Amino acid sequence: MRVLVIEDDDAVADGIVDGLADRAIVATRVASGLAGIESAAELHPDLIVLDLGLPDIDGTEVCRRIRATSSVPIIIVSARDEEVDRVVALELGADDYIVKPFGMRELVARIHAITRRTTVGASVSRDDGEGSRLVIDSRARRVLLDGEPVHLTPREFDVVEYLARDRGAVYRRTDILRDVWDTTWFGTAKTLDAHIAAVRKKLGDPAWIESVRGVGFRLGEP
């Protein structure tokens, strides 16, 4: 795991680099926005920690430019505790936002959460991009059928993505309810059926989601 730290404040930067080193995470630090953009392209880091207030170009612009060519996870750290910055940062494609001052424990927890998420997402899209008519793009939360976007509601997307984690595997209804709806309340079984029906309709063929009697559902390939 290699982290790129883009931060002009020496004390903050040293704290992050040392703190990550203590946890066996290698970090490279640069002190300006342009150096950050260059290093992101050259080093191919696994994750970027980006300060917003940089001497040459604003961190939001740095984020935008890196995101234009790379899907590397970006955590923004900033002293600007304003809602507008948080929203703008996430809209620019940052994965998370931490307000200074923060503790190393918090930063490391966020790093681990993001890498877990992106690793799962990457394996899903790789698995589903090859040879299938149905492609699930977890990062963009999009489903493409024969190259055309299918307009699913967020929950419908969650169901399809869940079933696509292991294509062909049968997922139990109780597991889908627990993981997608965060509940095991039996009343929601009807909700699950309604969502499955809606997705089948939108995909144009019920065979995309097969019912396995007495067990649950699996993603099919008509």
Residue ranges binding Ca ion (CB under 5 A): 8-9, 51, 53
Nearest approach in angstroms of CB 23 to Ca ion is 23
Distance in Å, CB of 8 to Ca ion, minimum:
5
Closest to Ca ion by CB, 51 vs 128, is 51
**CB of residue 104 vs Ca ion: minimum separation in angstroms?**
18
Judged by beta carbon, residue 19 or residue 53, the one nearer Ca ion is 53
- In whole angstroms, how close is the CB of 53 to Ca ion at the nearest point? 4
Contacts of 112 (CB under 8 A, 6+ apart): none
CA distance 151 to 212: 25
Closest among 202, 204, 201, 208 to 222, alpha carbons compared: 208
Q: Which is nearer to Ca ion, 77 or 152 (CB)?
A: 77
Q: How far is the CB of 102 from Ca ion (least distance, A)?
A: 14
CB closer to Ca ion, 51 vs 156:
51
Q: How far is the CB of 114 from Ca ion (least distance, A)?
A: 21
Nearest to 158 by CA among 111, 199, 107: 199
Pairing of strands 26-30, 47-51: unpaired
Number of CB atoms found within 10 A of residue 59's CB: 26
CB-wise, 107 or 209, nearer to Ca ion?
107
Task: Give residue number: closest CB to Ca ion.
Answer: 53
Nearer to Ca ion, 3 or 180 (CB): 3
